Structures are given as structure tokens and as C-alpha cells.
A and B are shown apart, each in its own frame.
Chain A
Amino acid sequence: MCSHQDLETVRQEILSKRDSKKPCISICTGTGCLASGAGEVMAAFTAEIESQGLKADVDAKGTGCPGFCEKGPIVVIYPEEICYLEVKPEDVAEIVSQTVKENKVIERLLYVDSATGEKAIHESDIPFYKNQERTIIGNNIKIDSKSIDDYIAFGGYTGLAKALLKMTPEEVLDEVKKSNLRGRGGGGFPTGRKWEEARHAAGDIKYVIVNADEGDPGAFMDRAVLEGNPHSVLEGLTIGAYAVGSHEGFLYVRNEYPLAIENVLIAIEKAEEYGLLGKNILGSGFDFSVKVHRGAGAFVCGESSALMTALEGKAGEPRPKYVHTVVKGVWDRPSVLNNVETWANVPPIIEKGSDWFTRYGTEKSKGTKIFSLVGKITNTGLVEVPMGITLNDIIYKIGGGIPDGKKFKAVQTGGPSGGCIPERLLDLQVGFDELTKAGSMMGSGGMIVLDEDTCMVDVARYFLEFLTDESCGKCVPCREGIRQMLKILTKITKGKGKPGDIELLQELAEVASEAALCALGRSAANPFLSTLQYFRDEYEAHINEKRCPALACKELINYYIEPEKCKACTTCARKCPADAIIGGKNLIHMVDQDKCTKCGTCFEVCPDRFAAVTKLSGVPVPANLSEDQRVIVREVREAKAS
């Protein structure tokens, strides 16, 4: 392709070969669905279509992740957009003969609202999707992630053509600046400003880089975008390169994402073939090529200076930067690093204009953001929401609230060095500055919901443990400071905290925040600081009363059978792996505290109608009963009942 016209011609050609009424089966073959068997489902569809002689009449394709991985494998049948969840190979023949041929809906494969019992036929009727605004991942389920034609058919590369052929680099830059797009990878730095600095930096050779390291445990939004819709990232990157004046790009992706690597390599090859990458793109005279670099996968490698050091082929350790990487980055050349999602936002901004983009959002945070919603929440998965939506709406309208009738306690946002936001702030609007003000951060979009059974001191300990392991070890405030913090927090959760610990933690936190070399160390104390801010009483209970209010810290709780509730059903005694329950027929059961390993089995297995096993914390365990006190006199109860 060597002009805008060519791109349109190709698009029309692709579209003319397609019949919008022709049934198309989209099977999510993202990493999540593949893990739950999408590969087999896909194979079953291919075989079934073949054997029913429908090859000419039905399309089937493997697509990217629409976000609801928990309910995978996901299958959507177009044009009716009928959405089936948890599809198994056994369901395939029926789907083809019933739904594809007869347009009949198979009830058992539909989404069922666990609260209301209502079913949803169309993808867009499912509450999980209904309240989202999916401008980035919305097309994932429609596009064959390995097909450039599919991307073009859905309007792909229009933004690039417009940028290269109708706009000057300055105009592209201005449009991105006007959109107020801010980095989706952590800091929320204005993307346009970053590009501008690099554009004006001295030097002929400049680089643009995609950060697809995605080291946050449990996060997979970048994977979903890159793996499901790689061309959107490449298109954004090329537009950025044009604006910055760069002719070489890198895509730094973690090695643990083999499917993303595979799909992006195919995408690069196809884009080159179509003249959308390489020399003289679309006849514009602009050259740009991209190389894929596989990262070794340490969390700190996602940090910009460490990532650039790694791109140079050295160990991925952060470098002190008093000169910005946009001026002196990879091989000391101006380098623009943006996150996968940031790049994917660029094509629609150029295509539809910054006004379209700024329709969504708060004053300073525009557009949409993808979150990975996990933890104690009914619907887990990737959710793309407009900035400015409240946490409440995300958790209750999209996430479906807290399962098992438990109470909400806090939501942890921003990845390992983010913070926890308590219930009273659930009306908070999601935005970069809003979350930071609440003591947390946007980060790359991790969102972990915690319920009442979660100990907040233990949450802080957990994240500091992760960060201690991930510290590169170069600078003292981080390597030694957070390690000491972890030691103190661990002691507190074991009931060995002492007065003064909170103050020492605060001091170490302050020094790490002020003196660490890179943002890992500087933000590592956040999990502690935010839990202290909102849940100080829990810290104090652990330290002063040796009590864990959430009844979660093993060392601080005892399992105890309430004598008046125990009906001697013997379940716990039979299930206790430590033989720690003093049981017997018609005898009130008791926990032998010396033998008990606090595994919690008795608590789990005691039938709900008795609920005799409880957890105690910070109070002495009542003395065991004497033999005759333990006898349950059933006759009395039966007499009463009659």
C-alpha cells in the first residue's frame, strides 16, 4: 500500500468479500481462555463446521480477550452477538446446529446473574460489560488477533493514514497534547509533553518504545491488548514515532507472554508486507521499523531507566536520571517510553480527534482506563471504564459486589506499591490525581478488592514482601529500608510488635520515599503508609493487645468451640488433620489448644446450622469443660420439642 486511497481500497476489498449477515463465531483464544480449554473448543468448532459442510457459510475465528476470563472459554456468535460462557468442546455441535443454523439460544450457556437469577443473551446485556466503556478492548472479541485484514476491516490504520498523509508531526503532537492523554503505565505523565520534549531534544536518532513488561502480579491488561489487538499498539507507536521524529522503535515484552510475542511478531510481519511499517509508509516518505525485545521478567525491569538499560543489553538495573530519558535514553539518545495501553489510545485520538477522547473523564484524567479487577469480588476480570467513574460503580455495578455475604473492607489499587482505599471513600472518582490524593495511585490499573476477613497489617506485609524480593538491591534505602520494614511488619503480624514500631516504620518509609534511587523504592512504603492512614487501629490492636481484628493472623488467633452451640456432630473431630479435637459421642467437642495447628479446617467444616467453631483473638481461651459438663442431654431437647 502506498497511499491513503490504497488503504481504503484494501478495506473495501476486504469488506466486499464479507457478508455482514454471515454467521461468525468468535472464540476467545486469549491466554486466560486457552488455559480453560479454548484451544479444544476452537478445534471442535473447526471440525464441526467442516463435518456439517458449513465452511462456506460460517466463519470461525480465534480472538483476543474481552476481559471476562473467569467465565472462559467465551464464545460470541455474530451477527446476533449471542454470548456463551464456559463453553466446552461437548457444547460445540449443539451451538452450531442450534444457534448458528437455527438462531436458537442455548439457555444453559448464557450468563446468569447470581443475585437476580436473570439471564443475559447478548454480550452487551451482561452487567459486567454493560457498565463499561470499552474503547480499547471492546474490539478484542471481534478481531482475529492474527489477522491484519480483520483489523483493517474494523477501521484499523485509519488514524495512521490520517496522521502521515494529512497532518504534520506538529499537528499530531498538538492533537495528543490537547487530548490530555496521560501515561497508563504508572506515573500518569502527560504523553504529549513527553513526546514534545523528545521531539525537541538534540540528535538525529530517536527511539520510541513500548513498555510491555507488565510486572504487577495479577495484572494482565497489557497482555490482553497486545495479544488481542497487536496492530492497535503498532499503529499508535508508528504515529508517535512520526510525531517525535523517530524511525526506530522497540517493543519490550516479558518473556512470560509467549502468545503476545507470537501475535505481535505476526502483526509486524504483516504490517511490513502491507507497507504499514518499514520504508515510505503509505507513500508518505516516512520510514519506521520495530524490533521486539524479550525481557527477563523482573518487576524492576519495567521501570523506565532499568528497561532502557536492558534494551542496551545490560543487566536491567535502574540508573539515576537527572537528565530525562526523553533527552538521553537508550544509548544516550532521546527515547520515548510509553505503556502498551497508552500507545493503543493514540490511533483513536488521531482518528476521532481529541474532543472525542476528552468526552470521558475528570478534569485532569481523560479517556478510559483498563483495570484488572480481582480479589473478593463476584465478577473478576479486565474492565475498561471511563475515568471519573466511582469506585463504588466499579465494585458493585460491574464487579457485582462482594461474594458470600461478606462485608467490603478496602480496595487496593495501583499494583504492589499502591495503596488501600477504605469504604468511606468509595464515592471517589477514578483518576490519577484523585487516587494519589487518597494515598493510593492509579499505577497500571491493578484493583484488588478486600473483604472483612482481610487483615490490613498483613496486606502491607504481603506487598512489602513482594517488593523486597523485587528490589534490584542497588540502593540502600530500598534494599535495606524496605527489608527492615518487612521484618517489623512480620513481627507485628506474629504478635511480636512493640511500642515504637509504628514510628520506626514511618521513619524508614519516609527515608525510602525521599532517598531511594528509583520509583520502586520511592513508592515501596505506600502499602504501609496507606493502611496506616486508614486502619491505624488494626496496627495498634496487633501491637498493644496482640489482637488481629480481622481474625486473620494465624499467630494471634485461637480456634474455639462454643459449648452451647456444639451439637457433637463429630464432623470437626473427624476432619481435624492434627487430631486436636477432643470429641466423643454426645459430648461437647473441644479444641486441644496445644495440639491445634490453626489450619482452620474445623471452622470450615462445622455445619452452618451449628456454626459452633469461632476464632478468638486478643482474649484468653476459656478453660476446657469437665467431663460431666460436656455431656449433651438430648432427651431434654427432644422433650421440649414435642
Chain B
Amino acid sequence: MKGITLKIDGEEVKAREGMTVLKAAQNAHIRIPTLCYHKKLEPYGGCRLCMVEVESRGSAPRLVVSCLYPAQNNIIVRTRSPKVDRVRKTVLELLLAHAPNSFELKELGKEYGADESRTGQEPSFCIHCGLCVRYCAEVKKKDAIGFVDRGIHKEIGFVPEIASKECGKCKECFPLCPTEALQAAYIFVEALAFPGQGH
């Protein structure tokens, strides 16, 4: 594997070919906030919180999602800039409308000055990061939980037949959830679909 050197926030950072900018930054202990990223999972690129500004020779700076963008030699990365911060602030405002009590979102919101009063509140808790769905599919290979419907109607749903067998003893995806949605959905399904099996 070829060695790569790039600059992140003014700092020279070494990386290997095939690495993402996020990974390169993490290795150098440079923090980039993420919501839908997990080191065990294929990058998803859904939350857009990890966006950074990238400048490669000659081209104007552009926004890319660092959890997907491949590290390349000599590129210049800025993890904070007015543009980056504005995207993060807006993304957080949009998500806080759905999960106003999420500890993780509230902390990030504070950091980026998100004003959740600007967006119409509509608590629905799940922010569709897909961590639970992808974890169960990619790591556990059980597909006990999935997305149903599309777009703004998209929701997570346990598949009762599988969940009743697998989830009680697993629960590995629960701590990944940035909001309380997963727990709530599980309790709900548990009560409805497999009463009495519980904890």
C-alpha cells in the first residue's frame, strides 16, 4: 500500500491508499463529528455531519463527506470553516426537530450553535442514521430490523419473527442509537409481538 501525506487543519497527516479522510483524521487524533459512521460498518454517507472542506491542487475548495472521501496525496482538508459549520448547524437543527432530547445531538447542537426553535418541532425520535439496521445486517447478519417505506415516511421496524428469537440475547445495536428511538421501538414491538418473553 502506498503512503499518502495530506494536510488536515494545517497538520501533516500520513495515511494509506484506500483510507478515508475521516480515518486519516481519526488516526491523527483530529476530531470530526459523525452520526451515521461506525468503524465496523460500511460508510453510509447519510447524516452529512462529517462534511469537511477539501482543496486539491488547482481546484476550488469543496465540501465532501469525510467518512467516504478517499484520502489523497497533497490534498488540504479543513475540518472547520464557515461553510462546514453552517452545514453542521443546519443538519443538527433539522435532526433536533425530531429528537429534541437526544443527549448526543444536544451536545453537538451546543457546539455548533444550533437553534432548534427555527425548525418546526416534530418529535419522532429516530433520525434514520441506519446504524441499527446496518449493524444487524452487516455485523450480526440477522436482518432483525429494517427500514420500512421511503423518504419522509421511512421508519425503522423490527421483524417480529426474527427479533423475538435474536434480539433478547443480543441487544448489541442498542447502544449505537444516538437517540432513544431504538429502545422505544424494541419495547413496543416486544410488548406487541412477543409478550412474556422479555428480559
Q: Using CB atoms and an 8 Å cutoff, list the residues of chain A in contact with chain B.
A: 298, 320, 322-323, 468-477, 479-481, 483-484, 487, 504, 507-508, 510-511, 514-517
* A466–B147 alpha-carbon span in the complex (Å): 21
- What's the nearest-Cβ distance from chain B to residue A421, in Å? 28
**B44 to chain A: which residues have CB within 8 Å?**
474
Known A511-B90, A517-B45; contact A480-B69, beta-carbon cutoff 8 A: no
* A504–B90 alpha-carbon span in the complex (Å): 10
Known A476-B95, A514-B83, A515-B63; contact A508-B90, beta-carbon cutoff 8 A: yes
Q: Which of B45, B87, B97, B152 contacts A514 (CB 8 A)?
A: B87
4 residue pairs, one from A and one from B, having the closest CB atoms: A480-B94, A320-B45, A473-B154, A473-B151
Instruction: Indicate if the CB atoms of B151 and A472 lie closer than 8 Å.
Output: yes
- B57 at interface, CB cutoff 8 A: no
Known A322-B69, A473-B128, A484-B97; contact A479-B152, beta-carbon cutoff 8 A: yes
Q: Closest residue to B91 on the A side, CB-wise?
A: A476
Instruction: Indicate if the CB atoms of B119 and A511 lie closer than 8 Å.
Output: no
Instruction: Indicate if the CB atoms of B152 and A481 lie closer than 8 Å.
Output: no
* A29–B98 alpha-carbon span in the complex (Å): 51
Q: Which of A323, A476, A487 contacts B120 (CB 8 A)?
A: A487
- What's the nearest-Cβ distance from chain B to residue A519, in Å? 14
Q: What is the number of contacts between chain A and chain B, taking CB atoms within 8 Å?
A: 88
* A470–B150 alpha-carbon span in the complex (Å): 8
- B160 at interface, CB cutoff 8 A: no
- The A contact surface, by secondary structure, is helix
Q: Which of B83, B94, B152 contacts A471 (CB 8 A)?
A: B152
Instruction: Indicate if the CB atoms of B97 and A322 lie closer than 8 Å.
Output: no
* A471–B128 alpha-carbon span in the complex (Å): 13
Instruction: Indicate if the CB atoms of A476 and B94 lie closer than 8 Å.
Output: yes
Instruction: Indicate if the CB atoms of A515 and B48 lie closer than 8 Å.
Output: yes
Q: Closest residue to A504 on the B side, CB-wise?
A: B118
Instruction: Indicate if the CB atoms of B152 and A477 lie closer than 8 Å.
Output: no
Q: Which of A471, A483, A504, A515 contacts B91 (CB 8 A)?
A: A515
* A504–B147 alpha-carbon span in the complex (Å): 30
- What's the nearest-Cβ distance from chain A to residue B12, in Å? 23
**B119 to chain A: which residues have CB within 8 Å?**
484
- What's the nearest-Cβ distance from chain A to residue B63, in Å? 5
Q: Which of A469, A472, A487, A511 contacts B86 (CB 8 A)?
A: A511
Interface residue total, chain B, C-beta cutoff 8 A: 34
- B46 at interface, CB cutoff 8 A: yes
Q: Closest residue to A507 on the B side, CB-wise?
A: B90
- What's the nearest-Cβ distance from chain B to residue A332, in Å? 14
Q: List 9 A-B contacts (CB under 8 A).
A: A320-B65, A322-B68, A473-B151, A474-B128, A476-B46, A483-B152, A504-B118, A511-B91, A516-B48
Q: Closest residue to A321 on the B side, CB-wise?
A: B68
Instruction: Indicate if the CB atoms of B63 and A514 lie closer than 8 Å.
Output: yes
* A439–B63 alpha-carbon span in the complex (Å): 22
Known A473-B152, A479-B152; contact A322-B46, beta-carbon cutoff 8 A: no
Q: Closest residue to A511 on the B side, CB-wise?
A: B90
Instruction: Indicate if the CB atoms of A475 and B64 lie closer than 8 Å.
Output: no
**A323 to chain B: which residues have CB within 8 Å?**
70
- What's the nearest-Cβ distance from chain A to residue B37, in Å? 12
* A481–B147 alpha-carbon span in the complex (Å): 20
Instruction: Indicate if the CB atoms of B90 and A481 lie closer than 8 Å.
Output: yes
Most buried by B among A470, A476, A483, A484: A476
Instruction: Indicate if the CB atoms of B151 and A468 lie closer than 8 Å.
Output: yes
**B95 to chain A: which residues have CB within 8 Å?**
476, 480
* A435–B71 alpha-carbon span in the complex (Å): 36
Instruction: Indicate if the CB atoms of A517 and B46 lie closer than 8 Å.
Output: yes
- What's the nearest-Cβ distance from chain B to residue A484, in Å? 5
**A298 to chain B: which residues have CB within 8 Å?**
150
* A476–B51 alpha-carbon span in the complex (Å): 12
- B15 at interface, CB cutoff 8 A: no
- B47 at interface, CB cutoff 8 A: yes
Q: Which of B64, B94, B147, B153 contacts A322 (CB 8 A)?
A: B64
- What's the nearest-Cβ distance from chain A to residue B71, in Å? 11
Instruction: Indicate if the CB atoms of A475 and B45 lie closer than 8 Å.
Output: yes
**A480 to chain B: which residues have CB within 8 Å?**
91, 94-95, 97-98
Q: Which of B47, B68, B69 contacts A476 (CB 8 A)?
A: B47
- What's the nearest-Cβ distance from chain A to residue B4, in Å? 15
Instruction: Indicate if the CB atoms of B94 and A481 lie closer than 8 Å.
Output: yes
* A474–B128 alpha-carbon span in the complex (Å): 7
Known A477-B48, A479-B128, A514-B63; contact A468-B152, beta-carbon cutoff 8 A: yes
- What's the nearest-Cβ distance from chain A to residue B156, in Å? 12
Chain B 71-99 interface residues, beta-carbon cutoff 8 Å to A: 83, 86-87, 90-91, 94-95, 97-98
Q: Closest residue to B45 on the A side, CB-wise?
A: A320
Chain B 132-160 interface residues, beta-carbon cutoff 8 Å to A: 147, 150-154
Most buried by B among A484, A511, A516: A511
Instruction: With A469-B151, A504-B118, A514-B87 given, name 12 new contacts (CB 8 A).
Output: A473-B147, A476-B46, A476-B94, A476-B128, A477-B94, A480-B98, A483-B152, A507-B86, A507-B90, A515-B91, A517-B46, A517-B65
Instruction: Indicate if the CB atoms of A475 and B152 lie closer than 8 Å.
Output: no
**A472 to chain B: which residues have CB within 8 Å?**
150-151
Q: Closest residue to A316 on the B side, CB-wise?
A: B150
**B90 to chain A: which residues have CB within 8 Å?**
477, 481, 507-508, 511, 515
* A39–B150 alpha-carbon span in the complex (Å): 38
Q: Closest residue to B68 on the A side, CB-wise?
A: A320
* A508–B127 alpha-carbon span in the complex (Å): 18
* A507–B82 alpha-carbon span in the complex (Å): 13
**B87 to chain A: which residues have CB within 8 Å?**
477, 511, 514-515
Most buried by A among B47, B87, B118, B150: B150
Chain B 37-62 interface residues, beta-carbon cutoff 8 Å to A: 43-49, 51
Instruction: Indicate if the CB atoms of A473 and B150 lie closer than 8 Å.
Output: yes
Q: Closest residue to A486 on the B side, CB-wise?
A: B152
* A298–B149 alpha-carbon span in the complex (Å): 12
* A241–B118 alpha-carbon span in the complex (Å): 52
**B94 to chain A: which residues have CB within 8 Å?**
476-477, 480-481, 484
**B83 to chain A: which residues have CB within 8 Å?**
514
Most buried by A among B43, B47, B90: B90
* A516–B83 alpha-carbon span in the complex (Å): 14
* A475–B120 alpha-carbon span in the complex (Å): 19
* A511–B95 alpha-carbon span in the complex (Å): 14
Known A322-B69, A504-B118; contact A471-B86, beta-carbon cutoff 8 A: no
* A298–B151 alpha-carbon span in the complex (Å): 11
Q: Closest residue to B62 on the A side, CB-wise?
A: A514
- What's the nearest-Cβ distance from chain B to residue A516, in Å? 8
Instruction: Indicate if the CB atoms of A322 and B91 lie closer than 8 Å.
Output: no
* A472–B119 alpha-carbon span in the complex (Å): 21
